[in-house]
Amino acid sequence: MTFAMTLFTRTLLILSLLTLGGCASLPEAPESSVLPSSSDALEREAKWQERQRILQKIETWRSEGRAAILTENGGGQISFDWLYSPKDQVLSIKTPLGQNAMQLTINSSGATLIGHEGQVMQGENGETLLQEALGWSVPLESLRAWLLGLPSSRHDLYTLDPQGRLNTLESKGWHIQYKNYDESAGLSLPSKLELRHSELTLRLVIDRWTL
């Protein structure tokens, strides 16, 4: 089998890259796209500004969870374990039966992708590597921000919940809906979200955050 992967393996890769970002710093906190019109809105916006400052300081974490993808041609499910630090990161993907599907490593030396049969691909960065494998590119840095509950640029549009957290986000042609947050890691972080782009729908459930 070559690294021109089967549809199933390509689906797993699509799922994996939608939970992965590069090793650069997170984007600067954007200015609000919501104009407060009441005391409640002003309080919500103040909470949001403080929340952004806190999230921007997170440098190292571990995220464990599950993902499902839906397209007009079908779908699939995986589990993932993503270890991230400013210098390197490792994302491990498994099938619903617990079999290793792939592992993507990104560090200062570049990116390495190991397939489920031991195939190896190497490149300068994760986005380029995945584009070569899949034939299309994704905004990896933006996806990393979205996963933490942050916009990826000052041009993004968003709405906030009463706690000053992202409720919905429009960014780079993607619509992200934040359905639930988890407090167990000592900070309110997304635990359930849905990302939609064109005919692709991705549903993420994060079972555990470790900061």
Domains annotated on the chain, with CATH: 7-210 (2.50.20.10)
In degrees and rounded to multiples of 5, residue 10 shows phi and psi of -60, -40
Q: Is the pLDDT of residue 104 over 80?
A: yes
Which residues are within 8 A (CB) of 197 and not within 5 positions of it... i.e. 6 or more apart? Answer: 173, 174, 175
Bridge partners, 74 (sequence order)? 71
Note the pLDDT tens digit of each residue in 171-202. 999 999 999 999 987 899 999 999 998 888 99
Question: Please, which pLDDT band fits residue 3 given cuts at 50, 70 and 90?
Answer: very low
pTM over 0.85? The answer is: no
- Is residue 78 within 8 A of residue 67, CB to CB? The reply is yes
pLDDT score for 27: 55
pLDDT score for 1: 45
Residues of the chain with pLDDT > 70: what percent? 78
Check residue 68 and report its DSSP letter. Answer: E
Q: Per mean pLDDT, which range of 2-11, 69-78, 196-205 is the poorest? A: 2-11
Q: Is the pLDDT of residue 134 over 90?
A: no
| Average pLDDT across the chain, whole number | 82
